[in-house]
Amino acid sequence: MRFINSSVSPNLEKVDFLAALRQIFSLSSLKTGEEIKKVEDWFKSRFSKPYAYSFLSGREAETALLKAIGVGKGDEVIVQAFTCVAVVNPIIWLGATPVFVDISQENYSMNMEDLKKKISPKTKAIIIQQTFGLSAPVRQVRELANKRGIFLIEDCAHVIAPSLALLNSKSDNLGEKEFGSGPGTVGDAALFSFGRDKAVSSVYGGLVIVDNKNVASKIENLQSSAPYPSFFWLYQQLLHPIFTYLVIAAFNQAPLLGKILFFVLKGTGLITLPIGREEKDPQEGKYLIRKYPNSLAKLCSLQLNRIEQFNQNRLRLYRRYKEELGDFRLKLRFPEEETFYIRIPILVEHKENLVKYCRKFSIYLGDWYSKAVTPKDVSLEKVGYIMGSCPVAEKVSREVLNLPCYPKMTESNVRKVARVVKDFYENKS
């Protein structure tokens, strides 16, 4: 019974497993080395940006960027509801106030009318999120930000697709398109994450690309003065893809064995959580800015070299879901835009029961995002979110689930997921 899950290192393949093993024994290049520059140069080249700076996580890259543009006490930074606390924390840590904008159900990104209402003289920056890989109204927000003199940041944690020509392409031959017109190229800056369940993964890591020379100089100074993480922490992260690979292999042979192994490793801390306990209470946490280490950059480089292959498969899987679900996709409010989905959002009835039913078949549906600001145990009050202020985001969070759509999936996996989901609702009626 094959394990289908978009949360547990979904990009992880044998080549990544072997690379992590090699990095463990490469003591001299754990922290420093040429791989860091390779990652930064990849983004500068593909996104036609003059400056790129890597950090230990996406939120640390965001913190450095916000600090560089002068965000501080008395400022407001606009973000959307239906997001992760990792996006909100840097704003609070720097003493500024997050202002939440409602979403449009069509693209799970900012609603333009609500955005216009919530801009104020205190607005220092807008962070627009490319949710699930769907097209966000970036050019409309760009025009609005220009008129008000507001710094525009694209949050591209869910998608790495340098060319807009790739999106909505009907062709399977995606390698011949030009770079430089896609998500991450329109704003004043763009943020990327290399977390374990992102478009590419090195367990931890993040990066910011930026146009402005003065802002870039300040980010560079922050990066230069930042420390590397400890050797112990690094080894812990390098063990993550190794142990996860073994857990998935065990699960595919014997699901009970895989589950036992996973909970043992998680309980001992050998498999770490993507968001630490201290980050769920931003009032108590404090910001850190740390360098991106060479050993993790090596893992990132390996997957960046396969990103077109990843994206091509994501597009193929989306089309297969659309075909397999047929007219049933209307019931699931299946999205119609062709893009490189990191996960495919659907809006469903009987959400919790569907999740339980799918687990019987080793299918683990995703739950981005189960409340206006996730994870579930984040205090909305402490992150400054007022219930009722973003009604569409709140409604969607109660109904949304994510169909797995990741590079390792096969078309037979898609057929299985589609069949099980349809069976559940047909048995309900």
pTM to 2 decimals?
0.93
By the 8 A CB rule, do 94 and 72 touch?
yes
Mean pLDDT of the chain: 90
Cα gap 427→85, rounded to integer Å: 37
- How confident is the model over 112-152, as pLDDT tens digits? 999 999 999 999 999 999 999 999 999 999 999 999 999 99
In percent, the amount of the chain with pLDDT more than 70 equals 90
Q: How confident is the model at residue 171 (pLDDT cuts 50, 70, 90)?
A: very low
Strands (E), 62-201: 76-80, 83-84, 97-101, 103-104, 109-110, 123-129, 151-155, 189-193
Q: Which residue has the tokens 């740390």?
A: 290
- How confident is the model over 382-425, as pLDDT tens digits? 999 999 999 999 999 999 999 999 988 999 999 999 999 999 99
By the 8 A CB rule, do 291 and 227 touch?
yes
Cα gap 156→57, rounded to integer Å: 13
What is the C-alpha end-to-end distance of the chain, expressed in Å? 27
Determine the 3-state secondary structure of 300 from DSSP: helix
Residue 275 to residues 72, 334, 369, Cα–Cα distance (Å): 24, 29, 14
By the 8 A CB rule, do 204 and 237 touch?
yes
For the purposes of burial, counting CB atoms within 10 Å of the CB of 224, is it exposed (0-12), middle (13-18) or buried (19 or more)? exposed
What are 207's two structure tokens? 């990066």
DSSP lists the bridge partners of residue 83 as 373
- How confident is the model over 274-319, as pLDDT tens digits? 666 666 666 655 778 999 999 999 999 999 999 999 999 999 999 9
By the 8 A CB rule, do 141 and 114 touch?
no
Output the pLDDT for position 279.
Answer: 66
The per-residue DSSP string of 392-422 comes to HHHHHHHHEEEEE--TT--HHHHHHHHHHHH
What are 331's two structure tokens? 């019931």
Which helix (H) or strand (E) element contains residue 135? none
Residue 208 to residues 33, 184, 211, 304, Cα–Cα distance (Å): 19, 10, 10, 16
Q: How confident is the model at residue 165 (pLDDT cuts 50, 70, 90)?
A: very low
- How confident is the model over 41-89, as pLDDT tens digits? 999 999 999 999 999 999 999 999 999 999 999 999 999 999 999 999 9
Contacts of 14 (CB under 8 A, 6+ apart): 245
By the 8 A CB rule, do 77 and 128 touch?
no
By the 8 A CB rule, do 158 and 342 touch?
yes
- How confident is the model over 31-52, as pLDDT tens digits? 999 999 999 999 999 999 999 9
Q: Which residue has the tokens 């968001």?
A: 275
By the 8 A CB rule, do 278 and 293 touch?
no
For the purposes of burial, counting CB atoms within 10 Å of the CB of 13, is it exposed (0-12), middle (13-18) or buried (19 or more)? middle
Cα gap 203→194, rounded to integer Å: 7
